[in-house]
Structure 1
Amino acid sequence: MSLDLSSVIAATTQWLIRAYPAADGAVNAALAETQARQAVTVAARLRYSTTTDVALTTTAGPGGSYRLDWLVDAEPYEIRGPDGVWRTCVDEVVASWAAALLTCSTLASEAVAALADCARTAGSPREFRRLTEPDAHDCQAAPLMRHPDLMARVVELHRPQLLERLGLLRSDDQTSTSAV
């Protein structure tokens, strides 16, 4: 996979941690950012699973955070302002999928497992431990990002597509296994 998704991952992570801030303290901020980045990375790899997908996103752009900001009642931002640059790189679908993964560790584990089964996006499931197996410190650091009710509006935007993507990946794995 191309590294061109790095700006989408960074911007979408930034949006999540600004919309759903960490508990007070530097350690909590670091833990919350790590969890958000892991969720966004998994979501981006699921969403843009081919080099063609990545190339199209790089060319057309991910869409920006305007609708997400409206949805969570964030202050409107000026495209020409300092926040405008990174906010244009936010991907709404990736943010929604990441929110779904952050609020359901079972779904997060399924998503990471689906990635591990795909050669083109393979990664160690341990690399996403804070997402799939959050401990008490992780949950205390990111109480807003981990709260299903608070994240529901963002999750519900594109949750059906996430479930469909995971179902397709599972059925692809079963097809290739049964063909052997």
Structure 2
Amino acid sequence: MLTDLSPLIAATARWLTAAYPPCGGALASALCEAQARQAVTVAAWLRYPTEIDAGLVTMAGPGGAARLDWITGAEPADDHPAEDWAWRTWVDEVVASWAAALLTDAELAGLAVAALAEGEHTVAPVEFRRLLTPDDGDHRAAALLRHPDLLAPVAGLHRDQLLDRLTPGRSLAA
């Protein structure tokens, strides 16, 4: 059973950077991609914390980008050849939602990275600096990707599940 989440992480990060593109040239594109990939990696590792979880999602498939496209007003897949859109079947809506929440809330991102210690994915310390402490260049490059108002529809989809995962037993009134 395949337990590698890299196809899901790559597709979901690609969807985020396509929906909320970088502001600037090649360097901005790379910085935006790095931030998206770090947020998606944290979200995927939280969502699928064990090898069994990762294996099950790779067998069943994560669900695709259709609902995310509808929410953000992206073009439907019917307008393009299938080979141009095949990667979109690997987009995970919950992971995209969690990543969007992490990109727009530094405190939540810190809690999420700290919670990774409970999963099976990290065998060595992994640095998530661009997610946790982005510098001015990171913010400029990913201005759309980190804009709370723009990401709110996506981040709000599964934010409660993320909060439940990070703060079990929290008060619903909070």
For 2:42 and 2:169, locate their aligned partners in 1 and report how far apart those are by CA, in whole Å: 14
**TM-score (structure 1 length as normaliser):** 0.87
Match of 1:99 in 2: 100
CA distance in 1, matches of 2:41, 2:113: 10
- Closer, same or farther in 2 for the Cα pair 1:16/1:24, shift >3 Å? same
Give the conservation status (yes or no) of the 8 Å contact 2:3–2:51.
Answer: no
**1:151, 1:64 → 2: CA distance?**
18
State how 1:31-180 maps to structure 2 within 5 Å.
31-78=31-78, 81-115=82-116, 117-118=117-118, 120-122=120-122, 123-124=124-125, 127-168=127-168
Cα deviations by residue, 1:61-115 (Å, 9 ceiling, x for unpaired): 0000000000000000138523321000000000000000000111111100111
One-letter amino acid of the structure 1 residue matched with residue 115 of structure 2: A
The 2-side partners of 1:164 and 1:135 are apart by 29
Spell out structure 1 runs of 4+ moving beyond 2 A: 121-125
**Displacement of 1:121:** 2.8
Distance of aligned partners of 1:33 and 1:3 in 2 relative to their CA distance in 1, 3 Å threshold: farther
Specify every segment of 5 or more residues in structure 1 that has no aligned partner in the other structure, as ranges: 171-180
- Tell whether the 8 Å contact from 2:3 to 2:58 is kept in structure 1 after alignment: no
**Residues of 1 paired with 2:96 and 2:157: CA distance?**
9
Q: Tell me how far apart the structure 2 counterparts of residues 15 and 30 of structure 1 sit (CA, whole Å).
A: 15
Q: How many residues align?
A: 167
1:114·1:169 contact (CA, 8 Å) conserved in 2? Answer: no
- Structure 1 CA distance, aligned partners of 2:119 and 2:44? 16
Q: TM-score, normalised by structure 2?
A: 0.90
Instruction: Select between 36-45 and 3-12 the one with higher mean Cα deviation.
Output: 3-12
- Does the C-alpha gap of structure 1 residues 61 and 169 become closer, same or farther in structure 2, counting only changes over 3 Å? farther
